[in-house]
Amino acid sequence: MTKTGTRRWHFISSRRVWASPLLRWAGSKRKLLPHLLASIPETFNRYVEPFAGSGCLFFALRPKHAVLGDINHELIDAYEVIRRHPRRVSRAVACLGTEKQTYYELRSADPTSLAAIDRAARFVYLNRHCFNGVYRINRAGAFNVPRGTRTGQVPTERQFYRCSVALRSAELRPVGYRDCLSDLCGGDFIYLDPPYASRRRNTFGEYGYDCFDEEQLPDLFSLLHLIDRIGATFLLSYCQHAAFAELPARWHKSTLTVRRHVAGFAHHRRTVRELLVSNCPLLHSQSPQK
Ligand SMILES: C[S@@+](CC[C@H](N)C(=O)[O-])C[C@H]1O[C@@H](n2cnc3c(N)ncnc32)[C@H](O)[C@@H]1O
């Protein structure tokens, strides 16, 4: 570990993680958390995460000022409601049974017809009981993930409360990454975790049909250059991809080997190589070429 990384990791682990993600999320970076925590700058003014998902780095860090964005407006809406009414949402979730029928009835409900508390409770319930925390919609925009066999427990009232406290420091933006990053400033720290390249995702509506795909990598790279120019720091996680060869050699890259589910199947895992890129030094960084 670099000296900076060691210090930050000890600081975070000595505080213990006070709030953890409320949601299960396909593509969550829980396994990479020690590497991510060791790779963030010592100081920054504002934390910005435009592909927030379950926000595992955000909840571990609990920054004083943050922007969390995601194109999934149902997700951001759930965070908004939980922030304001953690106990009411928790109780609404706890009232729902665990039967298969309850899951499919809730799944078929139109969220726009529900009051805010019920809408957030439905979102959390489906997330905790669906197949592997996958978020997938059909062409009409309706959530269509089947119920999982090993369904997750619902979060406790204390977990809802802590999530709400952590979210008080965050501005929540239900927008695409470009709009989320429209007011970047020097001194910001931006953590980018876009969906990795996958044909399956585009075909089946995982993360939604307007989800980021690999054709947008050049656009994302142009944003990295902008972030670097204005004096902000970025950390990007992605799967290994040939396009990364075109990034400036002075940026830091680190390759990690992680065991992941294949296509969301818990019994089918494989080892994948993931990449961290940053304009500040990384844990186990490959030395930038001069
Ligand atoms: C790999 S997940 C992020 C996981 C997150 N780091 C965590 O720990 O849970 C990618 C997220 O990007 C969101 N997303 C997909 N396309 C997007 C876009 N064009 N703009 C903003 N968010 C997008 C998805 O809804 C999803 O929540």
Q: Which atom of ligand 1 is nearest to the CA of 25?
A: 9
CA of residue 156 to ligand 1 center, whole Å: 25
Q: Which atom of ligand 1 is nearest to the CA of 51?
A: 12
Count of residues making up the chain? 290
Is residue 137 in some structural domain? yes
Integer-rounded Cα Rg, in Å, for the chain is 19
Q: Is the CB of 61 under 6 A from ligand 1?
A: no
β partners of residue 87? none
Tens digit of pLDDT per residue, the chain (290 long)? 444 445 455 555 545 668 889 999 999 998 899 999 999 999 999 999 999 999 999 999 999 999 999 999 999 999 999 999 999 999 999 999 889 999 999 999 999 999 999 999 999 999 999 998 999 999 899 999 999 987 668 999 999 999 999 999 999 999 999 999 999 999 999 999 999 887 666 667 788 878 999 999 999 999 999 999 999 999 999 999 999 999 999 999 999 988 776 555 555 567 888 999 999 998 666 545 44
Is residue 28 in some structural domain? yes
Is residue 288 in some structural domain? no
Query: pTM value?
Result: 0.91
**Ligand 1, atom 18, residue with closest C-alpha:** 176
Q: How far is CA 168 from CA 86, 189, 191, in A?
A: 12, 18, 19
**Looking at residue 229, what is its pLDDT?**
98
Which string of DSSP letters, residue by residue, matches the chain? --HHHHHHHHHHHHH---S--SS--TT--GGGHHHHHTTS-S--SEEEESS-TT-HHHHHH--SSEEEE-S-HHHHHHHHHHHH-HHHHHHHHHTS---HHHHHHHHHS-GGGS-HHHHHHHHHHHHHHBGGG--BB-TTS-B-PPBPSSPPPPPPHHHHHHHHHHHTTEEEE-S-HHHHTTT--TTEEEEE-PPPP-HHHHHHTBT-TT---GGGHHHHHHHHHHHHHTT-EEEEEEE--GGGGGS-TTSEEEEEEEEEEETTEEEEEEEEEEEEEESS--TTPBPPP-
Is residue 49 in some structural domain? yes
What range defines the domain where residue 224 resides? 3-278
**Looking at residue 278, what is its pLDDT?**
97
Is residue 283 in some structural domain? no
Q: Is the CB of 177 under 6 A from ligand 1?
A: yes
**In the structure encoding, which two tokens stand for residue 133, read together?**
């925390």
Is residue 135 in some structural domain? yes
Q: Is the CB of 59 under 6 A from ligand 1?
A: no
Q: Which atom of ligand 1 is nearest to the CA of 211?
A: 16
Q: Is the CB of 209 under 6 A from ligand 1?
A: no
Is residue 289 in some structural domain? no
Domain of 238, CATH number, reads 3.40.50.150
Q: Is the CB of 195 under 6 A from ligand 1?
A: yes
Q: Is the CB of 207 under 6 A from ligand 1?
A: yes
Number of structural domains the chain divides into: 1
**Looking at residue 29, what is its pLDDT?**
92
Is residue 244 in some structural domain? yes
